[in-house]
């Protein structure tokens, strides 16, 4: 889109793209909300107490997954191993 010259066509494509993204991801994104924040505190505290501290983003991902009862699909199992979340490594043979 950025290769198009400024004008009506570029503007219309931008609007259509933004509408598409908004609709496509409307029900696919999970918020780091109050429930997840409460679980996050527990996850991070437990990780630190057990000698397996987590990064802030990994702790947030784990908390969101735990809030919704979801697994985390990642190749970096070690980053979430002690978070209490169910883990799936898509690169390992099942």
Annotated domain spans of the chain: 1-29, 34-88
Degrees, nearest 5: CA angle 40-42-46? 120
pLDDT at 1: 62
% of residues, the chain, pLDDT over 90 = 70
51 DSSP assignment: T
Does the structure show a pLDDT above 70 at 91? yes
Query: For the residues 28-51, what does the mean pLDDT come to?
Result: 94
Strand, coil or helix: what is 72? strand
Strand partners for 72? 87
Q: Check if the beta carbon of residue 43 is closer than 8 Å to that of residue 54.
A: yes
Evaluate whether 85 touches 71 at the Cβ level (below 8 Å): yes
Fold of 34-88: Rossmann fold (3.40.50)
**For the segment 64-84, what is each residue's pLDDT rounded down to a tens digit?**
999 999 999 999 999 999 999
In this model, does residue 35 exceed pLDDT 90? yes
């Amino acid at each position: 889109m950025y290769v198009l010259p400024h004008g009506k066509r570029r503007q219309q494509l931008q609007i259509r793209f933004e509408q598409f993204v908004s609709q496509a991801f409307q029900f696919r994104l999970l918020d780091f909300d109050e429930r997840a924040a409460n679980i996050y505190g527990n996850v991070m505290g437990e990780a630190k107490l057990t000698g397996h501290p987590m990064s802030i983003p990994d702790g947030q991902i784990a908390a969101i997954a735990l809030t919704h009862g979801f697994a985390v699909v990642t190749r970096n199992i070690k980053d979430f191993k002690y978070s209490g979340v169910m883990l799936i490594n898509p690169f390992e043979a099942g």
